[in-house]
């Protein structure tokens, strides 16, 4: 499931990159497989960007089910970036947006130079589906 896959990603970050990772993943969400896949791929890309660009020492990964939405947060304490900037050649940021939109969600990025970054995905959930 999604939680198990994200837990594996966290273990890799800790072991391979010596990052402090705080993971709050909760229980497996009851959402369609397409949504789980999108969340996993977005988390994977965000974590890849942290390792490759952020020079962070700490990452917080949070997956939470609210009343009518699932929220994924990936936060780091790295060097940050300008979210309004253009990233030629950085297809990852665009693909994260596309993945979120494709399953009816939104993706926001917040960052300040030198103050880390936050990638947040919100997916609407229809209860009982």
**Looking at the 3D structure of the chain, how many domains does it have?**
1
State the residue range of the domain holding 68: 2-124
Q: Is residue 87 part of a domain?
A: yes
pLDDT tens track of the chain, all 129 residues? 999 999 999 999 999 999 999 999 999 999 999 999 999 999 999 999 999 989 999 999 999 998 899 999 999 999 988 777 665 556 678 899 999 999 999 999 999 888 999 999 999 987 654
Q: Is residue 62 part of a domain?
A: yes
Q: Is residue 99 part of a domain?
A: yes
- CA dist 20 → 68, 84, 111, 119, 125 (Å): 31, 28, 19, 18, 31
CATH number at residue 14: 3.30.565.10
Handedness of CA 44, 48, 54, 55 (dihedral sign): positive
In 3D space, the residue among 46, 58, 57 whose CA is nearest the CA of residue 90 turns out to be 46
What pTM did the predictor assign?
A: 0.91
Q: What pLDDT does residue 11 have?
A: 97
Q: Is residue 10 part of a domain?
A: yes
Q: Is residue 129 part of a domain?
A: no
Q: Is residue 98 part of a domain?
A: yes
Q: Are 6 and 61 contacting, i.e. CB atoms less than 8 angstroms apart?
A: yes
Q: Exposed, middle or buried by CB within 10 Å (0-12, 13-18, 19+), for 78?
A: buried
Q: Is residue 64 part of a domain?
A: yes
């Amino acid at each position: 499931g999604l939680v198990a896959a994200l837990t594996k990603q966290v273990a890799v970050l800790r072991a391979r990159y010596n990052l402090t990772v705080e993971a709050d993943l909760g229980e497996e969400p009851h959402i369609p497989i397409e949504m789980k896949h999108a969340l996993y791929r977005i988390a994977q890309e965000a974590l890849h960007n942290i390792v490759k660009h952020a020079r962070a020492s700490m990452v917080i990964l949070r997956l939470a089910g609210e009343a009518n939405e699932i929220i994924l947060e990936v936060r780091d304490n790295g060097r940050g970036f300008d979210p309004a900037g253009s990233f030629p050649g950085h297809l990852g940021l665009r693909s994260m947006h596309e993945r979120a939109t494709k399953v009816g969600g939104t993706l926001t990025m917040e960052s300040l130079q030198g103050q880390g970054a936050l990638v947040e995905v919100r997916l609407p959930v229809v209860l009982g589906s």
